[in-house]
Every structure is written in structure tokens, then in C-alpha cells.
């Protein structure tokens, strides 16, 4: 981008597509803010489609499900038990803290090994070629049913993120075995993805005015307060489609019981302060180059919104300039969740077939969840 000007642009593509009458494209340098910051900015620029005089309802203002009231997902240890809980509860908590420390050490060492180029993913159809960050990227997306995702979540007792990781693993597996011609009965192939995680003390999307509050104790401050997690994806063919989600839940639960995201955030922040952006950027570049996929998911408006009088049909965020040949974003908007792929144009000329794999994988997982629910009800 032209660094003599502000590092953001707005382009209006005033021609119709199969989904919308025109498109507004925001191009923003990631140094200005992370996904949480930019979604908050977008919401501040829109109005509710049902009442154009009011701001849209913030996702963080929605009441949590009954099973989550009073709780929040934390990457790390649970709080110590009350004294009335007894000695066994305290011993279990101590053992949990020991396990947390062990998981953190393992994860940070693995993270460092990637950054130091000591380990890397095996070469597959998804592996990027050298210099991919300078090649043309194509952005493609498709809207899927958020209700289908929530149905699977409720049946299996997991989170939306678990389902999305499972669907991604299933879709990449379908594409891998179709393109590579490998025997699907062989041992699972483990690939690593880089997952960016919001480390603000208050999770979720917040009002822009609150994020701009200058207080240093502001727990939702604008910027890039993110840490990284190395999240494994398994390429495999399972007879039961729900196995992809179960496997994903197991992996994500293991990652939650670690301080990897906190440590990586601290390392990135202190490293930049001590050695500058060029050194920390080079280390980050090498680490991403040794993984296969960049992965992220974001919550968006929970209702239909308007942008300067024009109803927004979909929101499709992505990034370019990274060293992955395949970047996967999930973005929710009202009752839809959109999968957005940024692909190396020459390596994935059939990227729309990969989108088909995502749609088909969610369909099969949803059908399997419904069958599982009916069987549980009959028994």
C-alpha cells in the first residue's frame, strides 16, 4: 500500500453479482487493527436494517445460553475451588495446574521449533511454494447455514468453533484425497494451522467508542492484542462424519488447557519492543512458512444491517501478503456463516471445488448429527 497515505482504502465495485447489486471493499493494513477491532469499526458504520435510525445490536450484548451463564471460555487453568469443596477437589485443581504447565511448555517449544525452522509440515497439495506472498491471490466465498452449525454443536455438546474446525478438516480431507490420489486407508496426515486468538480480557465484539477509550486499563482496547495457537488439522477419511468434529473438539480442548496463546502474545509484543518489527516480522514469517494453513473465525452482526442505506448481503473478510497458499476465514452474519478462502491463484485453479467440499462436508455432518439425535431419542 502507498505508505504516504493512510493505510486504508474503500473501493465501490458498482456492478451486480449473483448475490448483490454491488460491493464495498475495505482494504486495510493489518497494523491498524485485528479482526475484532475492524468488525467493531464496521458495525459503527452500519445501522439496523429493521430500524435505520439505530445502531445494530452488538454480539456481546446478546444474552448467553443458559448453560454458559456466569462462565467464560478461558485458555488456561480454572479458578481454585472453594474451601468447602474438600481436599480431593483441591488436589485435582493442583494436578490440573501441573498439567497446564506441561502443556504450555510443550506448546511453546513446538512454537519455537517452527520459528527456528527445526520442524515443518509434510509437503501436500496445500503446501505453498516459495514466494507465495508475492503471487496473486484469489478470494472466493460461500454462505452456509449457521443453524446447521448450531444444530451440530447442540447435538454433540461442543462449541461453534469445534464444529467449524471439524468441517474444515473434513473439507480439506475430501479435497486432499481427490487431488492427491493417496490411499484414504493410510494413517492420518497431520497438518498445522496458525490460529489467531483475541487475548483481550473481555472477549467478543465491543462498541467502537468503548474500544477507543484511552485508559491503559481498558480491557477491550483497539489494536492487535492477539496471540497465536498452532492448531493441528487431521487429513483422514472417517466412516462417521461426526468423527471430524469429535477429533476437532479433542484438539481444541487440549489447546484451551495451555497458556500458549498468552505466551506467544507476550513474546511477540516484547520481541518487537526489543528487536524491532523487522526481526519479529522475519521470525513470524518463518513460523507461518512452516505451517500449512492460516485459519480464523469471527462473529459478526447478529441481525441484518445497512451500510449508508444499502442492505448488507454478506461480509467476507480475508488477508493477503502472508506465506500460506490457503487461508481460511469463517465469518458469521445474522443466520448465515460464510467460509472465505484466499488461495494462490495458480495452485488452486479449482478453488470453487474446494468451496463445494466445505458445503458438502457441513451437509454430511449435519445429517449425521440429526441421525445421532434421533437414535439417542429412540433409545
Residues known to be catalytic? 30
E strand or H helix at 8, and its extent? strand 8-13
DSSP summary character for residue 330: E
Buried b (16+ CB within 10 A) or exposed e, 106-141: ebbeebeebbeeeebbeeebbbbeeebbeeebebbb
- 369 by Cβ neighbours in 10 Å (0-12 / 13-18 / 19+) ranks as buried
All cell numbers assigned to 193:
494451522
Residue with cell 465501490: 12
Measured CA to CA, the distance from residue 349 to residue 258 in angstroms comes to 38
Measured CA to CA, the distance from residue 184 to residue 235 in angstroms comes to 9
Within 13 A of 9's CA, how many CA atoms are on the CB side?
11
Measured CA to CA, the distance from residue 333 to residue 54 in angstroms comes to 18
All cell numbers assigned to 50:
429493521
285: helix, strand or coil = helix
What is the number of other CB atoms lying within 10 angstroms of the CB of residue 24? 16
253: helix, strand or coil = helix
DSSP summary character for residue 335: T
Buried b (16+ CB within 10 A) or exposed e, 247-280: bbbebbeebbbbbbbebbbebbeebeeeeeeeeb
- 209 by Cβ neighbours in 10 Å (0-12 / 13-18 / 19+) ranks as exposed
All cell numbers assigned to 306:
445497512
Amino acid at each position: 500500500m502507498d505508505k504516504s497515505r493512510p493505510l486504508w482504502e474503500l473501493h465501490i465495485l458498482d456492478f451486480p453479482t449473483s448475490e448483490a447489486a454491488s460491493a464495498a471493499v475495505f482494504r486495510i493494513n493489518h497494523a491498524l487493527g485485528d479482526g475484532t477491532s475492524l468488525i467493531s469499526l464496521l458495525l459503527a458504520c452500519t445501522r439496523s436494517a429493521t430500524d435505520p435510525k439505530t445502531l445494530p445490536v452488538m454480539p456481546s450484548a446478546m444474552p448467553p445460553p443458559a448453560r454458559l451463564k456466569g462462565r467464560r471460555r478461558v485458555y488456561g487453568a480454572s479458578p481454585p475451588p472453594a474451601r468447602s469443596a474438600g481436599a480431593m477437589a483441591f488436589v485435582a485443581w493442583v494436578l490440573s495446574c501441573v498439567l497446564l504447565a506441561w502443556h504450555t511448555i510443550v506448546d511453546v517449544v513446538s512454537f519455537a521449533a517452527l520459528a527456528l525452522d527445526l520442524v515443518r509440515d509434510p509437503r501436500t497439495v496445500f503446501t505453498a511454494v516459495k514466494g507465495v506472498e508475492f503471487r496473486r491471490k484469489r478470494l472466493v466465498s460461500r454462505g452456509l447455514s449457521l443453524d446447521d452449525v448450531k444444530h451440530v454443536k447442540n447435538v454433540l455438546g461442543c462449541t461453534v468453533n469445534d464444529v467449524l474446525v471439524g468441517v474444515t478438516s473434513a473439507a480439506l480431507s475430501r479435497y486432499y484425497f481427490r487431488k492427491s490420489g493417496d490411499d484414504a486407508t493410510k494413517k492420518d496426515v497431520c497438518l498445522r494451522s496458525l490460529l489467531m486468538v483475541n487475548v483481550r480480557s473481555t472477549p467478543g465484539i465491543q462498541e467502537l467508542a468503548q474500544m477507543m477509550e484511552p485508559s491503559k486499563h481498558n480491557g477491550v482496547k483497539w489494536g492487535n492484542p492477539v496471540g497465536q495457537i498452532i492448531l493441528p488439522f487431521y487429513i483422514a477419511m472417517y466412516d462417521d462424519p461426526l468423527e471430524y468434529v469429535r477429533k476437532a473438539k479433542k484438539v481444541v480442548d487440549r489447546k484451551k488447557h495451555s497458556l500458549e496463546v498468552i505466551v506467544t502474545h507476550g513474546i511477540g509484543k516484547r520481541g518487537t519492543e526489543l528487536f524491532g518489527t523487522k526481526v519479529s516480522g522475519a521470525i513470524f514469517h518463518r513460523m507461518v512458512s512452516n505451517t500449512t494453513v492460516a485459519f480464523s473465525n469471527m462473529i459478526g452482526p447478529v441481525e441484518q444491517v445497512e451500510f449508508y442505506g444499502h442492505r448488507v448481503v454478506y461480509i467476507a473478510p480475508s488477508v493477503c501478503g502472508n506465506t500460506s497458499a490457503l487461508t481460511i476465514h469463517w465469518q458469521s452474519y445474522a443466520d448465515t456463516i460464510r467460509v472465505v478462502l484466499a488461495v494462490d491463484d495458480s495452485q488452486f485453479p479449482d478453488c470453487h471445488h474446494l468451496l463445494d467440499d466445505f458445503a458438502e462436508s457441513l451437509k454430511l455432518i449435519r445429517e449425521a448429527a440429526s441421525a445421532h439425535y434421533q437414535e439417542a431419542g429412540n433409545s
